[in-house]
A and B are shown apart, each in its own frame.
Chain A
Amino acid sequence: MSGTTLYQKRRHTGARRGVEPLYYLFLVPTLLVFTAFVVVPALIGIFYSLTDYVRFGDWSFLGLSNYAALFSDPRILESYGFTLGFAVVTVVVAQVIALALAVALSRRIRFATTLRTVFVIPMVVSGIVVAYVFNFLFSNSLPAIATAVGFGPLEESILGNPDLAWLSIVIVSAWQTIPGALLVYTAGLTSIPTDLYEASALDGASPWRQFRSITVPLVAGFILINTILGVKGYLGVYDVIVGLTGGGPGTATSSVAMTIFGGFTGGDYAYQMANATVFLVVTALISVAQIVATRGRAVQL
């Protein structure tokens, strides 16, 4: 304790090298723009969530009643259920496929560079455009194929089926985000020394055992990064849904983001700001929980 105060005092009395004013000029403009465009809107939004504001005109304080209403609104709860479920399923699907591809690409295969080039293509195309293309495939081609082979469940478009429409969003979201994760895993795999595999092979370890006991622990840090960034991205899902289902059929695939944006035209502005605030807390809690749950699991060489 005394050490800290001593340290601080020393700093305040200027015994340490002072900060050159130019450094403030480097940093402060960024802080100001960031505050004006991100932090202030966030605070305004949180403030209005406590009112009955409708985007224009007068407003009065409501306290927490927007929040109370939120937790008993089936439409809102459904959107959270869908968004969380979608994020969990997609992050698992995308990470498993990305890691499998990265491991496969690191093996003794031919055309590894070309194959990787192809697998990364989805990363550079626009999500909404891809969703439009897949929309056509799901509503025309897939039913046509299903009819031709006589597979009943898929003869109707899955986009029109309330129980299956979410699958299309998982598929397109995963398609689009696997490349980024794949590159991260490739970076992780190249940092593992090959002698580890050679030594374990001499000890008779099977490829699966090597994967479990060498690969996974050593890329755990990368799995963590991918999962955290992935979940955050999937929770904000919007573009892909717009291109595929528009939130339908009914509200079956309506994500939290879509519900919030509805507040701009639907007249429940303040209510949706409360929703946005809850969404912020949920997103932050999930990220923190992921970091805490996996802390210390990553093996550092």
Chain B
Amino acid sequence: MTTDIAPRAAAQRPPARPQARRRTGGRVHRTNWPLTVLLGLATLTVFVPLYVTLSMAFKSSAQSADGNAFSLPAPFNPAGFAEAWELTRFPVSFAISLAVAALAVTLTLLLSSLAAYAIARNWSHRFFRWSMIYLLVALFLPFPVVALPQIQLTALTSLDNPVGVGILHAMFQLSFSVLLYTAYLRSIPIELEESARIDGASTWQIFWRIILPLLGPMNATVGIFAFLASWNDFMMPSLIMSDPTLQTLPVVQNIFQSQFGTSYNVAFASYLMAMAPTIIAYLFAQRWVISGVTQGAVKH
């Protein structure tokens, strides 16, 4: 029922505005300016930390130590970035973060879409139903519960490196992703597959040629969740990775907490370099990200 009503409501919305305005003589339903201003002020909670990061990053080390976080950089000094670049070995840690996230996303998409397809199409069979429940167990399994044995296991199998972290990130995305995919697969009419089957397509071909392309929007959703969880994670790489020179971008930021003699401007330049890639990517792909996350909310 809900799904029936949603598109109808959406279709009705555009004409609803002029109608309402006419009825009330164009007074009541005009733009709610006080609310707009209030929301504008609320964005300060987002902007202030970002502004402080940006302005601190461009200060001289003397100015960054004066305790006034909100002042503009004077003189304008981008030298902190060079030092941060060296200290965090930015190109290396950036590349490792990217590799870990790429592995996590690829594994999540592949494993959970295949598994979800098998489960959704064989729901009448006990093995597949129970497999679903088995995979869903991890939805309520926090990482700390299995962390200690996982640290040991990855050390034993020589996976105490970016590859192991990528695999583990994928494992913790699995439940949620299988859930999203199976819900979505139920909404894809089975007739499409049946007609392809009559034309002689095998299940293998059907999955790659028909199902996977149809899963497009859900792939984006699952991929975005998996990417953000992996890219921004601190807990797992910091515990699993044994070689500090292979650490990810969020983890290497901790050198500014322990190392004396580095100034705030260097630390903030580094934070900015760690935050900027996802913020910039998000601003360019925001419609995609927002609709992707929203899909995830509606579909399960």
Contacts and interface: CB of A to CB of B under 8 A. Distances in A.
A272 B115 contact: no
B260 interface: no
A180 interface: yes
A291 B204 CA distance: 38
A125 interface: yes
Contact of A31 (B17, B131, B233): B131
Interface in B241-265: 249-251, 253-254, 256-257, 264
Interface in B3-53: 5-6, 8-10, 12-13, 16-17, 20, 29-33, 35-36, 38-40, 42-43, 45-50, 52-53
Contacts of B115: 26-27, 30-31
Given A30-B174, A257-B144, A280-B145, A20 B203 contact: yes
Interface centre among B147, B207, B300 (most CB of A within 10 A): B147
A44 B202 CA distance: 41
Interface string A161-205: 000000000000001000010011011101111110010000000
Interface string B77-118: 000000000000000000000000000000000011011011
Interface in A61-107: 101, 104-105, 107
A295 interface: no
B77 to A, nearest CB: 18
A129 B248 CA distance: 12
A33 B144 CA distance: 19
Given A111-B36, A134-B49, A301-B2, A24 B293 contact: no
B5 A301 contact: yes
Contact of B122 (A19, A119, A184, A301): A19
Interface string A1-37: 0000000000100001001101110110111011001
Given A126-B234, A132-B253, A137-B69, A121 B279 contact: yes
Interface size class of B (residues with CB under 8 A): 35 or more
B80 to A, nearest CB: 14
A129 B279 contact: no
Interface string B118-137: 11011011011001001101
A193 B3 CA distance: 11
Contacts of B76: none
Contacts of B232: 124-128
A134 B48 CA distance: 10
A159 to B, nearest CB: 12
B56 to A, nearest CB: 8
Given A109-B39, A125-B279, A269-B148, A141 B52 contact: yes
B146 A41 contact: yes
A19 B39 CA distance: 55
B45 A256 contact: no
B231 interface: yes
B189 interface: no
A42 B270 CA distance: 36
Contact of A124 (B147, B153, B171, B289): B289
Contact of A16 (B2, B124, B234, B297): B124
Given A119-B46, A124-B289, A235-B142, A195 B12 contact: yes
Interface in A115-131: 115-130
A260 B144 contact: yes
A232 B239 contact: no
B207 A26 contact: yes
B12 A128 contact: no
A45 B131 contact: no
A37 B171 contact: yes
Given A184-B294, A257-B235, 18 more contacts: A16-B124, A27-B131, A31-B115, A31-B135, A37-B167, A41-B152, A55-B152, A118-B43, A126-B232, A126-B249, A126-B250, A132-B271, A137-B69, A187-B294, A193-B8, A193-B9, A198-B20, A264-B151
Interface of A: 11, 16, 19-20, 22-24, 26-27, 29-31, 33-34, 37-42, 44-45, 48, 55, 101, 104-105, 107-111, 115-130, 132-134, 136-137, 140-141, 144, 175, 180, 183-184, 186-188, 190-195, 198, 222, 225, 232, 235-236, 238-239, 242-243, 256-257, 260-261, 263-264, 269, 272-273, 276-277, 279-280, 283-284, 287, 300-301
3 closest Cβ pairs, A-B complex: A41-B149, A126-B232, A257-B144
10 contacts: A34-B174, A37-B168, A38-B138, A123-B228, A130-B275, A144-B68, A183-B294, A194-B13, A239-B235, A261-B239
